[in-house]
Amino acid sequence: MRSKSFGVLAAGAVLAFAVAGNAQNFITVPVSAPMTGPIANNGLHTFQGVELAAEELNKAGGLKAGPWKGFHIKLEKLDDRAAPAEAANIAQQLVLRKDVLLAFGPVFSGSCLAVLPIYEPAGMALVSPMCSNRTITERGYKTIVRLVQNDIPNGVGQADLAIKSLGGKKVGMLYPPHDYGAGTYKISHARATELGVEVVPVQYNEGETDYTAAINVMRNAKVDLITHFGFQTEAVLQYRQMKQQGLKVPFLVGPGSVNAKMLQLGGADVEGVIGVDFLRADDPNPKVQELVKTVKDKYNDVFSMLSRNGYDGMKFVIAALEKAEGNTRADVLKSLRATQIRGLAYDMKVDETGNLIVPMDRLQDYLFLKQIQGGKWIDYAPKKS
């Protein structure tokens, strides 16, 4: 889907808000994310979460306070195909619109890095539910509001789970060269080294189909566990070819691959894959269970961590809009930076750099192990000896 006025935004979602005084009683929310292509799952699940949160607000009568009191949210779904250049193109158009006060997304780090130099001089807040590259909040931007843990806890946590929970003593690491994959890998590599574990790294390029060379490196090095830092398409191929070539070691994928698309692509071939996720499969939270049922009934889909992040992200934005002191971009940005809510799994508040505050001594509250069994992602339970 391509909007004539927006073009296609890479890996993100943009919220356009009606200014106070507009005769309409709704806020237009264009959600721009990959809806087609190899990683469309990321955009579709994010949009589902955003939509559920918006529908809840609308059914309850709209915003309860602030300059948009009584306004409802109207969503516009835009396909971005996850290309940073497209994200920049859309951002350049958005900053010229007087009715756009806030951008929600992108959801991929490369796209966030592409649009921040555009939003920053315009003073427009960029709320991201997924961009995790650590440098996004280390470059001095005043407009970023990142509502997901960055690559530091993600990388440290993935290494800890591989070594402490899964018993890896010589760990192979497969990673692509993009901002998300390489960024998380570097942190995880450093953590593994700190824990005294030898790492065997192999970089791969997305779109490749033959991973024989990479698998041979892992086999010859006699790794006892492989951890992967990319997305599901390559993870499926790598794991399938590992088994075909007789390399039988635990295969741990990061949050970028823990989704329904991996199950669809891999089928029976991905049985046994272990993944790091931000959401338990059997979360006892009643609200999570309600959303799991709603997503199944409404979309015939699964409620994933991407859905959760979209839902929590919209809830965060709603809270900030209701607390805004005025109707300018500066007012919205100030409110976003000061907002604090309880999300579905953890408290959500950003620090002075716009980074989600994550206590490093409580990573067990943010990262969980799952495993594919019977064609489903279930909570991981180690086999009893």
Q: What is the model's pLDDT at position 263? A: 92
**In the structure, what pLDDT confidence band is assigned to residue 167 with cuts at 50, 70 and 90?**
very high
Using pLDDT thresholds of 50, 70 and 90, give the confidence band for residue 316. very high
pLDDT tens digit string along 41-57?
A: 888 999 999 999 999 99
Is a pLDDT exceeding 60 seen at residue 16?
no
CA-to-CA distance for 253 and 144, rounded, in angstroms? 28
pLDDT at position 7 over 50:
no
Topology given in CATH for the domain delimited by 26-149+286-354: Rossmann fold (3.40.50)
What confidence score (pLDDT) does residue 35 get? 83
Q: Could you give the dihedral angle defined by the CA atoms of residues 108, 113, 117 and 118, in that order, rounded to the nearest 10 degrees?
A: -20
Inform me whether the pLDDT recorded for 334 exceeds 50: yes
368 contact partners, CB below 8 Å, separation of at least 6? 276, 277, 278, 279, 280, 379, 380
Q: How confident is the model at residue 279 (pLDDT cuts 50, 70, 90)?
A: confident
Residue 231's DSSP bridge partners are: none
Q: What is the mean pLDDT of the chain?
A: 88
- In this prediction, residues 145-149 reach a mean pLDDT of 92
Token pair for residue 55?
């529908």
Q: What percent of the chain has pLDDT over 90?
A: 63
Q: Is the pLDDT of residue 168 over 70?
A: yes
Residues near 107 by beta carbon (within 8 Å), at least 6 away in sequence:
11, 12, 13, 33, 42, 43, 46, 128, 129, 130, 131, 306
Task: Give yes or no for residue 3 having a pLDDT over 90.
Answer: no
For the cut 80, the answer to whether the pLDDT of residue 5 exceeds it is no
pLDDT computed for residue 24 by the predictor = 54
- Lowest mean pLDDT segment, chosen from 11-15, 61-65, 121-125, 230-234: 11-15
More confident residue, 90 or 326: 326
CATH topology match: 26-149+286-354 vs 152-277+365-379: yes
Res 43: pLDDT: 86
The structural architecture, per CATH, of the domain 152-277+365-379 is 3-Layer(aba) Sandwich (3.40)
State both tokens at 171: 């760990």
- For residues 15 and 81, the model is more confident at 81
Taking the domains of the chain in order of start, what are their residue ranges? Answer: 26-149+286-354, 152-277+365-379
pTM, two decimal places: 0.81
